[in-house]
């Protein structure tokens, strides 16, 4: 479900009361330390036909690198609520339902955590909600008119300088990028930045037909994937990174498999992290 600061967040969606309970697991793949966390049992509030766990996000802190949190986002047709887990208390805090008044549901597994807020798009609509994980305020954010969230063609994320941005893959195999800014009246707007043609992906994939997925936008890099069925009947996948600064497209992984991908950034080794959480050090010596 998420990768952040050296941790991977996995979700066991099996619901077999006689065998195991639905849970998430926070994994450090470098040490294989695993924390299994049962999901909160009091979020559903009665039998609601459209209730669903929409996704989960990791919360990490530079001040306390040894602790972590998990944000659980769940909803039904008209409402959304959050539950937040803390590794310090080893407990969930379930927050009240909030009306979101959407014509359609929030899109499953499509949320993005940027600067302490979760951005979650509606499927088939031109808007998303913003969830402030510090205050738990939930607001609606309109998207540019040409953006319709369908499939995996859209993702919110962050630029290299941690500014909120959105990326949209159009049907003509182009990538459109906007950043959040303000107009002359101080009103927040989407500012178009770049439109990037992706013909290079066609060349690499030998023009095999497949859907382009915007996997994630992290630190100014857009991670993309495409999966095609080859003439011999096997799946073939390509995973790319695209720098929004240099426009350089890099093929990361290619193979005959079918599955999801999430960029993983290793945490700094504990021996290189100071007591104050810093990762730099000064060396005294002659000039």
Q: Do the beta carbons of residue 84 and residue 69 sit within 8 Å? A: yes
- Could you tell me whether strands 210-218 and 188-197 are parallel, antiparallel, or unpaired per DSSP bridges? unpaired
Highest-pLDDT range among 6-15, 69-78, 255-264: 69-78
Q: Residue holding tokens 């499509």?
A: 110
Tell me the average pLDDT across 224-228.
86
pLDDT at residue 268, as a whole number: 65
Tell me the average pLDDT across 130-144.
91
pLDDT higher than threshold 70 for residue 22:
yes
pLDDT higher than threshold 80 for residue 132:
yes
Q: How is residue 48 written in tokens? A: 């609601």
What gap in Å lies between CA 101 and CA 97, rounded to an integer?
12
Highest-pLDDT range among 14-18, 47-51, 60-64: 60-64
pLDDT at residue 75, as a whole number: 87
Report domain extents, the chain.
2-142
The 10s digit of each residue's pLDDT in 27-36 is 988 888 899 9
Q: Residue holding tokens 């950043």?
A: 179
């Amino acid at each position: 479900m998420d990768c952040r600061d050296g941790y991977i967040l996995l979700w066991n969606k099996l619901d077999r009361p006689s065998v195991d309970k639905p849970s998430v697991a926070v994994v450090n793949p470098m040490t294989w330390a695993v924390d299994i966390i049962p999901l909160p049992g009091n979020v559903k509030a009665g039998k609601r036909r459209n209730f669903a766990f929409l996704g989960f996000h990791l919360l990490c802190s530079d001040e306390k690198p040894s602790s972590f949190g998990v944000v659980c986002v769940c909803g039904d047709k008209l409402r959304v609520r959050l539950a937040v887990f803390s590794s310090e208390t080893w407990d969930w805090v379930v927050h009240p339902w909030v009306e979101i008044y959407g014509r359609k549901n929030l899109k499953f597994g499509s949320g993005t955590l940027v600067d302490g807020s979760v951005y979650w798009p509606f499927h088939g609509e031109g808007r998303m909600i913003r969830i402030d994980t510090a205050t738990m305020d939930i607001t609606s954010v309109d998207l540019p008119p040409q953006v319709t969230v369908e499939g995996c063609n859209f993702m919110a994320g962050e630029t290299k300088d941690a500014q909120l941005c959105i990326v949209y893959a159009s049907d003509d195999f182009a990538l459109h990028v906007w950043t959040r800014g303000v107009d002359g009246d101080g009103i927040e707007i989407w500012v178009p930045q770049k439109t990037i043609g992706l013909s290079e992906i066609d060349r690499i994939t030998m023009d095999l037909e497949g859907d382009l997925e915007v996997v994630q936008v992290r630190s100014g890099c857009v991670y993309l994937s495409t999966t095609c069925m080859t003439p011999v009947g096997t799946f073939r996948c390509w995973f790319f990174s695209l720098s929004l600064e240099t426009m350089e497209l890099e093929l990361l992984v290619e193979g005959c498999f079918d599955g999801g991908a999430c960029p993983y950034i290793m945490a700094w080794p504990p021996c290189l992290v100071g007591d104050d959480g810093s990762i730099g050090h000064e060396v005294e010596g002659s000039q």
